[in-house]
Chain A
Amino acid sequence: MKKPLLALIGLIFVGFLIDLSFDAFIQLTLIYVLINMILAMSLNLVSGFTGQFSLGHAGFMAAGAYASAFLSTIFPMNPGPMQFVYFLFYAIAGGAVAGLAGYLVGLPTLRLRGDYLAIVTLGFGEIIRVILLNTKTVGGARGMYGITGPTDFTLGSWTISKFLIGYAHAIFWVVACFVVIWRIIRSHHGRAFLSVREDEIAAEAMGIHTTQTKVRAFVLSSFFAGVAGSIFAHYANYLNPASFSFNRSVDAVIMVVLGGMGSLSGSLMAATIITILPEALRPLQEITGVDLRMVIYSLALILLMILRPKGLMGTKEVNEFWRKYVRKTS
């Protein structure tokens, strides 16, 4: 357990530096990067590692976001040093609701082989959105306002900022998601995921319970999508069903494909690029007066797919490239 903990502490320290040196806009973008990282990694577990195509990741994110936001109205947060614990609690609850939704959607669909999951999850994502749009208790189409979020608080002479709390919470889940998926893939249970991706019939003949394997991957993935939703809800303080449209599901798929199906580090990179690129291109729009952002964005995607058809990383991880490079030069 040492390595992940050290990484977490190191990353929180980095957050401390960011807190001191950047403005609120960049900080907000950074939080979105972290949320998208969780989203991409969790979708990669289903699509990249287990080989099941899901098109409704935004639906699970919405389930988690709204569940977590609703819970925070029942158990209001205590704005003090303990708020981190509250967010953790909300995130786990949101994740659990999303995981349950994943179980209910996955169980009947994943018994089948093929592209049925894509169709059903596509439908599920839309159903969730339409239900939320018509539920008055969570604001309906107007959206849900005033969701409790991180607040500044003072600890002796130190002021811990809103950003740092939100960042610490988000980075905790990024590390947790990474470590959980990374380790599962290196166990027998994870090898079962990979064998299902490679050849379901052969996996079954090797004694792998393929339906159970797929459902496990799907539930775990939905859980983390729900967690991402919870972080989003409490940092943005506002939820609207429109934020969980089909486009967001597609964004998640793009991140997974771009980073490489079956590469966690690829997902991290792709989530960073996809989130930052449109923001970074914003000044260009002001100079030219034309909205070139989407043109460049899509052009970049097309080019990347031509040059690296298996995604940035393929199925490899960063450390494997590192090893190769070191071996070559030494």
Chain B
Amino acid sequence: MSAKLLEAKSITMQFGGLKAVDSLSFHINQGELVGLIGPNGAGKTTVFNMLTSVYKPTSGEVIFLSEPTVSLKPYQVARKGMTRTFQNIRLFKDLTVLENVLIGGTKDISYGFFSSILQTSKYFQQEKALKEKAIELLAIFGLEKKAHAPASALPYGEQRKLEIIRALATQPKLICLDEPAAGMNHQETHQLMETIAKIRKDFRLTVLLIEHDMKLVMGICERIIVLDHGVKIEEGSPQVIQSSPKVIEAYLGAEDIH
């Protein structure tokens, strides 16, 4: 058994009278690829927002690397090694592709505010190293030729890709992908599956994936958590999920009994 990387202990998120997520508990082991699925409005993105401290859970606890993260700010969680992509792409649109990746490099920079004004040798060394690293990272995904194009000029699929690259630049241990295949065609989805498998192997990452594309989820996830109306209704391997009556009911509705 591998160690638990992330554990959510009965997290609840209440927006006024609406319980978006109701005492949800789950864990993710080191190196796993876990899928989080559920019909629209099931509370999947809310779970992501709680894990990354964008929302503070109404109750419950999130343990990441054996430390509670609920009281941390999102940037602190990110620096600890949990990063994410967004359902609606949130790139730094007016910045170049390269700059987008460089911003993730907070961990590689130790020069201070004043050495950037005086442009000390430390500044030049670290900037150079960071740029080389970013270009390398872009090259893995075949985007190095577009490094100096504005991010908004990329086609949709590559923007999704760039979001993943940018997240990788923060050197995460756990990456949360929020509907990475949204709006992609069949071929792009297939490429994305390969990309996810590749980053997992090359960067020894643990991945948590929200996705509607069942083919993608069933194809690559080892374990799947199904959410409906903020409650976990099923958890298990893709085979278990596919044959679970509860899941089928959540997606297709219950059979009428006359």
Are the CB atoms of B170 and A191 closer together than 8 Å? no
Report the separation of the CA atoms of residues A9 and B39 in the bound assembly, to the nearest whole angstrom: 68
B253 to chain A, nearest CB (A): 35
A312 to chain B, nearest CB (A): 17
B57 to chain A, nearest CB (A): 17
Contacts A202-B92, A205-B52, A208-B75; is A195 near B103 (CB within 8 Å)? yes
Are the CB atoms of A188 and B75 closer together than 8 Å? no
Per-residue 0/1 for B88-117: is the Cβ within 8 Å of any A Cβ (1 yes, 0 no)?
001111110001001111110101010011
Are the CB atoms of A188 and B74 closer together than 8 Å? no
Q: Find chain B residues with CB under 8 A from A186 CB.
A: 116
Are the CB atoms of A204 and B78 closer together than 8 Å? yes
Are the CB atoms of A180 and B104 closer together than 8 Å? no
Are the CB atoms of A192 and B90 closer together than 8 Å? no
A59 to chain B, nearest CB (A): 24
B251 to chain A, nearest CB (A): 30
B192 to chain A, nearest CB (A): 20
A136 CB–B CB distance under 8 Å: no
B40 to chain A, nearest CB (A): 22
Are the CB atoms of A201 and B103 closer together than 8 Å? no
Report the separation of the CA atoms of residues A207 and B91 in the bound assembly, to the nearest whole angstrom: 14
A187 CB–B CB distance under 8 Å: yes
A43 to chain B, nearest CB (A): 19
Report the separation of the CA atoms of residues A207 and B126 in the bound assembly, to the nearest whole angstrom: 18
A216 CB–B CB distance under 8 Å: yes
B64 CB–A CB distance under 8 Å: no
Q: Find chain B residues with CB under 8 A from A208 CB.
A: 75, 103, 106
Interface of A is mostly: helix
Are the CB atoms of B90 and A204 closer together than 8 Å? no
Report the separation of the CA atoms of residues A207 and B127 in the bound assembly, to the nearest whole angstrom: 18
B123 nearest CB neighbor, chain A only: A187
B132 to chain A, nearest CB (A): 15
Q: Find chain A residues with CB under 8 A from B126 CB.
A: 188
Q: Which of B78, B90, B106 contacts A188 (CB 8 A)?
A: B106
A213 nearest CB neighbor, chain B only: B75
A241 CB–B CB distance under 8 Å: no
Report the separation of the CA atoms of residues A187 and B84 in the bound assembly, to the nearest whole angstrom: 24
Are the CB atoms of A207 and B90 closer together than 8 Å? no
Interface size on A, residues (CB 8 A): 28
Are the CB atoms of B78 and A189 closer together than 8 Å? no
Are the CB atoms of A190 and B92 closer together than 8 Å? no
Q: Which of A179, A191, A205, A216 contacts B78 (CB 8 A)?
A: A205
A198 CB–B CB distance under 8 Å: yes
16 A-B residue pairings within 8 Å (CB atoms): A184-B117, A188-B105, A189-B113, A189-B116, A190-B116, A191-B102, A194-B95, A199-B91, A201-B90, A205-B78, A205-B86, A206-B104, A206-B166, A207-B83, A207-B107, A209-B73
Report the separation of the CA atoms of residues A205 and B52 in the bound assembly, to the nearest whole angstrom: 8
What 4 pairs between A and B have smallest CB-CB spacing? A187-B116, A198-B92, A207-B78, A202-B90
Given A202-B92, A206-B75, 8 further pairs, Cβ under 8 A:
A191-B95, A194-B99, A199-B90, A201-B74, A204-B74, A205-B54, A205-B84, A207-B79
B18 CB–A CB distance under 8 Å: no
Are the CB atoms of A204 and B73 closer together than 8 Å? yes
Are the CB atoms of B113 and A198 closer together than 8 Å? no
Are the CB atoms of A210 and B99 closer together than 8 Å? no
Q: Find chain A residues with CB under 8 A from B86 CB.
A: 201-202, 205
Report the separation of the CA atoms of residues A187 and B225 in the bound assembly, to the nearest whole angstrom: 42
Report the separation of the CA atoms of residues A189 and B93 in the bound assembly, to the nearest whole angstrom: 18
Are the CB atoms of B106 and A183 closer together than 8 Å? no
Are the CB atoms of A195 and B92 closer together than 8 Å? yes
Are the CB atoms of B92 and A194 closer together than 8 Å? yes
Are the CB atoms of A198 and B116 closer together than 8 Å? no
B50 CB–A CB distance under 8 Å: no
A residues 164-206 with Cβ under 8 Å of B? 179-180, 183-184, 186-192, 194-195, 198-199, 201-206
Per-residue 0/1 for A231-242: is the Cβ within 8 Å of any B Cβ (1 yes, 0 no)?
000000000000
A315 CB–B CB distance under 8 Å: yes
Q: Find chain B residues with CB under 8 A from A155 CB.
A: none
A1 CB–B CB distance under 8 Å: yes
Are the CB atoms of A207 and B75 closer together than 8 Å? yes
Report the separation of the CA atoms of residues A186 and B98 in the bound assembly, to the nearest whole angstrom: 13
B97 to chain A, nearest CB (A): 13
B3 CB–A CB distance under 8 Å: no
Q: Which of B54, B74, B94 has the largest count of A CB atoms less than 10 A from its CB? A: B74
B119 nearest CB neighbor, chain A only: A183
Q: Find chain B residues with CB under 8 A from A184 CB.
A: 113, 116-117
